Amino acid sequence: MTCITLFRFMIKNKIIGSQFLGVENVLSQFKSICGEDRVSVGQAVREQHGRDESMHRCCAPDAVVFPHCVEEVSALAKLCHLYNVPMIPFGTGTGLEGGVGALEGGVCFSLRNMDKILDLHMEDFDVTVEPGVTRKTLNTYLRDTGLWFPVDPGADASLCGMAATSASGTNAVRYGTMRENVLNLEVVLADGTIIHTAGKGRRPRKTAAGYNLTNLFVGSEGTLGIITKTTLRLYGIPEAMVSAVCTFPSVQTAVDSTVQILQAGVPIARIEFLDEVMMDACNRYSSLSYPVNPTLFLEFHGSEGSLEEQVKTTEAITQSNDGSNFQWAQDAETRNRLWAARHNAWYAAQALRPGCKAYSTDVCVPLSQLPQIIVETKEDLIKNNLTGPIAGHVGDGNFHCLMVVDPNDKDELHRLHAFTDRLARRALALDGTCTGEHGVGLGKRSLLQEELGCHTIHLMQSLKYTLDPKNLMNPGKVLLPFSRESRQG
């Protein structure tokens, strides 16, 4: 056992107080790097940094540091590397898969003080931001330039955190996910080395130079390094937007419409699906009167002329698939009203059972398989007496069951876990993935193994071992521990 692990063990078991000299020594070295008031061992601060917005229980780190710049991050990392202290990067804590839990203790690197927006290049459509910048902050900053960053995962998340989890959102069908929109990253590795995945300051729109390290770190969920800068691809704010709603007699007709809309070449910006359970919940929550049927919520971006054509084509397609009640609007107020159900879905689902906790599943399958998986999933929910209205980014084949469960009902929790496992395996059986956008985090490590197969997982583990041989970077996430792997061969 290393010194730090021993100390931590003794402190946790109250054998010694945290005034013990060893831990004090490391903490005082942290303080000399980033300042007296930038290191915290306060219980409230640690607990705040040990949880995210998932249902995973809080796993507080032993200390939280608040560095100001990449040099401090690097120096702190060097220290942690020397003393074998685990490191957990923390952005806004809005993750949904328990990615920030300090399972083996260690130090949480809260990066919120690094909040500069650097190097905006309007004609090149790129900007570089530090981890403390959230997507809404960036878009507010950009508002008078005519540019925006469209990846919208719902929460006002840190952009570097979004890069770390390969976030996506309702706009992905048109603008892509983080994988397509990160041009360069500045990363601090486990031993404190600072690298730039595409070269320092470089921001060409495309490149064929060397291994694609940028996309190695996108989605690595803090297990390969600490992202301290990300260079993002920006887009022009669309000249005009139109929102529309249409109701369908079945899931199949709704998805068929989606496929045909995409095949018709309509550059649709958002296409969201809500099932009838969700529509009912939304009606109740917001006193609306939508028909209680599978419904598509659509959004179109473009010039005035092109919008007219897009809407006309789409309306014709929905009608040919027995869609009805096609409504659309261009002005902001009416658009918000039409989409009210979709915007409030999360809260409406929770309101179905007050006092319960909400958990969102997240699988993604090829479009053609979507009707089958949704129908089978709904049957599963009914059979197991679970509450799970469905909302989905149907243009990507990605959907979420917003599960509402009583956290004190052990049996229901058990049924929930069994259900989510079955759902993920159902998606895998249909050539899909166990996580469309939330990441692997803590809860889907075994599923990842099933999804990728042993050779690919083995390669991922080799990469992890190369970049972080001491397993200090956010241990216990994404990949199952090495020892278990080698035993399973």
Partner 1 sequence: MDGQAIETQGRSESLSRRARIADRPIRVKPDQSGVVTDGVKHSMNPFCEIAVEEAVKMKEKKLIKEVVAVSCGPQQAQETIRTALAMGADRGIHVEVTGKDYENLGPLQVAKIFAALAKKEEAQLVILGKQAIDDDCNQTGQMTAALLDWPQGTFASEVTMEGDKLKVVREIDGGLETIKINIPAVLTADLRLNTPRYATLPNIMKAKKKKIANMKPADLSVDIVSRLEVLKVEEPPQREAGMKVETVEDLVAKLKEGGTI
Interface residues with partner 1 (CB under 8 A) are 112-113, 115, 132, 137, 140-141, 143-148, 236-240, 303, 332-333
Instruction: For partner 1, give the closer residue by CB, 146 or 201.
Output: 146
For residue 131 the two structure tokens come to 């981890």
Q: How far is CA 28 from CA 14, 64, 76, in A?
A: 21, 13, 12
- Minimal distance, residue 271 CB to partner 1, in Å: 22
Measured CA to CA, the distance from residue 241 to residue 303 in angstroms comes to: 8
- Minimal distance, residue 29 CB to partner 1, in Å: 22
Instruction: For partner 1, give the closer residue by CB, 92 or 474.
Output: 92
- Minimal distance, residue 130 CB to partner 1, in Å: 11
Q: At what angle do helices 304-320 and 251-263 cross, to 10 degrees?
A: 140
Query: Amino acid identity, residue 186?
Result: E
For the chain, how many residues are written? Answer: 489
Instruction: For partner 1, give the closer residue by CB, 70 or 427.
Output: 70
For residue 273 the two structure tokens come to 């699906």
Measured CA to CA, the distance from residue 330 to residue 301 in angstroms comes to: 10
Measured CA to CA, the distance from residue 81 to residue 191 in angstroms comes to: 6
Instruction: For partner 1, give the closer residue by CB, 117 or 460.
Output: 117
- Minimal distance, residue 414 CB to partner 1, in Å: 41
Instruction: For partner 1, give the closer residue by CB, 35 or 154.
Output: 35
Measured CA to CA, the distance from residue 474 to residue 440 in angstroms comes to: 13
Instruction: For partner 1, give the closer residue by CB, 329 or 480.
Output: 329
Q: 3-state class of 18 per DSSP?
A: coil
- Minimal distance, residue 34 CB to partner 1, in Å: 12
Q: How many CB atoms lie within 10 A of CB 143?
A: 11
Instruction: For partner 1, give the closer residue by CB, 141 or 326.
Output: 141
* Per-position DSSP letters for 257-272, written without gaps between them: HHHHHHHTT---SEEE
Instruction: For partner 1, give the closer residue by CB, 54 or 158.
Output: 158
- Minimal distance, residue 236 CB to partner 1, in Å: 3
For residue 347 the two structure tokens come to 């809260």
Instruction: For partner 1, give the closer residue by CB, 137 or 461.
Output: 137
- Minimal distance, residue 13 CB to partner 1, in Å: 25
- Minimal distance, residue 143 CB to partner 1, in Å: 5
CA dihedral 205, 210, 215, 216 (to 10 degrees): -170
Please name the residue ranges forming H helices in 218-358: 251-263, 276-286, 304-320, 332-338, 340-343, 345-351
Find, among 106, 105, 224, the residue nearest to 473 by Cα: 224
- Minimal distance, residue 337 CB to partner 1, in Å: 13
Contact call for residues 279 and 341 (beta carbons, < 8 A): yes
- Minimal distance, residue 17 CB to partner 1, in Å: 17
For residue 485 the two structure tokens come to 């792997």
Q: 3-state class of 251 per DSSP?
A: helix
Q: 3-state class of 408 per DSSP?
A: coil
Instruction: For partner 1, give the closer residue by CB, 236 or 267.
Output: 236
